[in-house]
Amino acid sequence: MAHAYRAVQWNRYKRLYDAVLAGGCVAYHVLFVGIGAATHPRATIETLVIRATATLAFLLLTVVLSIGPLCRLDPRLLPLLYNRRHLGVVTFLVAATHGVFSIVQFHALGDTHPLVSVLTANTEFASVSQFPFQPLGLLALLVLALMALTSHDFWLATLGPTTWKSLHMLVYAAWGLVVVHVALGVLQAERHPAFPVLVGAGVLWVGGIHAAAGLRERRGDRERPAAREGAWVEVCSADAIADGRAHVASVGDERVAVFRRGERLFALSNVCPHQGGPLGEGRIVDGCVTCPWHGHQFDPETGAAPPPYEDRATTIPLAVRDGTVWIAPDAERTS
């Protein structure tokens, strides 16, 4: 939606979000290193920093992956999603700190280049217990770096929403690599059962809420069967749509949002052209359809974003017959 790209389009909420995030990260490190040094007098600071950044990056990545499905399950949590990209970038920065400290600690000042050493020091690929876990962490870090570097709207516009979204789905690959990195690394060194229990709980949590959100979406699609008459598909009663709100109908593999603005009704693809947010869960604000994810706005009649922005949502022909809303999803659209 951005017309002129800026590094960050700051607003009050983003500032608050980032302040809480940064403050929480600093407090986490102070507590982890401070209490760690007090309870383990023989600990070295660099080891505590490596572990603080490792545990925090794992925690943040778990939160990043949880926000999407949680918002599907409970839209009241959507304010957490609004600035998720900053959370993702901070996760990368924390993970990068862990990576740099670890590479320096374990691989620098030796007879081989540190990055080469990460990949070649341990070559026990045929062994489960001795499998090299560090290259997995490095690979996860590279994926997170790629995502952090392309998180800006410039890359979203340059790559296109589909490619950009596909690229950023690699976060699940990064998550898998991190889980195996942890399982084959620190879980083989720490003896307290809390460590495998917490990692296992994190994996079950992330998998569980994704499954729950997916089931809910699928159930929602089944609950909105649409009748057809030629090119036209029956959606719902026109009276069923409250002013400023939408009704979402499943038509084939697509979801369509039918919005009411006063006396008029408009049909648009439910997919926000910005980042694929569910437009139908948004509202009409200042006469425009407003996406619940990032607040991007579109004229419901034309699909165009207000000037100077250039995004355009896909509009779909709509007719009201005898108080029933019909749409023609296969007819010519504007987008």
Partner 1 sequence: MSHGDEFFVGHAPRMPESTRRRVRRVAAALVACGLALGVALTMLQARFDEGVFEFGVERTFDGVLLAEPYPVLLVADADGAGPRTILLSAPGKHGADALVADLVGRPVEVTGSLIDNGRREMIEVHAVRDLSADARLPAVDAGGESLGRLILAGEIVDSKCHLGVMKPGRDKTHKACAIRCISGGVPPVLRVEDRHGRLAYFLLVGTDGRAIGRELLSMIAEPVEVTGDVTRFGDLLVMRTEPASIRRPASR
> 124-141 as b/e, with b when 16 or more CB fall inside 10 Å?
eeeeeeebbbbbbbbbbb
Cis upstream peptide for 79 (omega within 30°): no
> Does residue 101 touch partner 1 according to CB under 8 A?
no
Alpha carbon distance 261, 298 (integer Å): 13
* Tokens read off for 253: 């593999």
| Residue 66 CA from chain centroid, whole number | 8
Alpha carbon distance 187, 215 (integer Å): 32
> Does residue 123 touch partner 1 according to CB under 8 A?
yes
Which span sits near partner 1 by CB under 8 A: 73-81, 156-164, 170-178, 258-266?
73-81
Cβ closest to partner 1, residue 51 vs residue 168: 51
Alpha carbon distance 104, 239 (integer Å): 66
Site track for partner 1 across 124-163, x = CB under 8 A: x--xxxx-xxx-----------------------------
The correct pick among 3, 5, 15, 31 for binding partner 1 (CB under 8 A) is: 31
Shortest approach of partner 1 to residue 271 CB, angstroms?
17
Return all residues near 37 (Cβ < 8 A) that are at least 6 apart: 43, 45, 48
> Does residue 181 touch partner 1 according to CB under 8 A?
no
Cβ closest to partner 1, residue 29 vs residue 333: 29
Q: How many residues bind partner 1 (CB under 8 A)?
A: 77
Give, as ranges, the residues between 269 and 328 that touch partner 1 (CB under 8 A): 281-283, 285, 290, 292, 294-295
Shortest approach of partner 1 to residue 232 CB, angstroms?
28
Instruction: Find, among 130, 133, 121, 145, the residue nearest to 57 by Cα.
Output: 145
Cβ closest to partner 1, residue 124 vs residue 239: 124
Q: What is the DSSP string of 102-119?
A: HHHHHHTTSSS-HHHHHH
Alpha carbon distance 213, 221 (integer Å): 12
The correct pick among 55, 91, 151, 269 for binding partner 1 (CB under 8 A) is: 55
Cβ closest to partner 1, residue 281 vs residue 311: 281
Which span sits near partner 1 by CB under 8 A: 140-148, 191-199, 217-225, 265-273?
191-199
Cβ closest to partner 1, residue 233 vs residue 272: 272
- Residues 122/137, Cβ–Cβ less than 8 Å: no
- Residues 297/288, Cβ–Cβ less than 8 Å: yes
> Does residue 98 touch partner 1 according to CB under 8 A?
no
Q: Which position has the token pair 């939160």?
A: 63
* Tokens read off for 291: 């996406």
The correct pick among 11, 166, 237, 302 for binding partner 1 (CB under 8 A) is: 11
Cβ closest to partner 1, residue 106 vs residue 155: 106
Shortest approach of partner 1 to residue 122 CB, angstroms?
5
Which span sits near partner 1 by CB under 8 A: 172-180, 185-193, 220-228, 231-239?
185-193
Which span sits near partner 1 by CB under 8 A: 187-195, 263-271, 312-320, 321-329?
187-195
The correct pick among 56, 136, 143, 148 for binding partner 1 (CB under 8 A) is: 56
Which span sits near partner 1 by CB under 8 A: 52-60, 218-226, 230-238, 315-323?
52-60
> Does residue 51 touch partner 1 according to CB under 8 A?
yes
Helix (H, G, I), strand (E, B) or coil at 258: strand
- Residues 335/314, Cβ–Cβ less than 8 Å: yes
126: left (phi over 0), alpha (psi -120 to 50) or beta: alpha
Shortest approach of partner 1 to residue 58 CB, angstroms?
10
> Does residue 82 touch partner 1 according to CB under 8 A?
yes
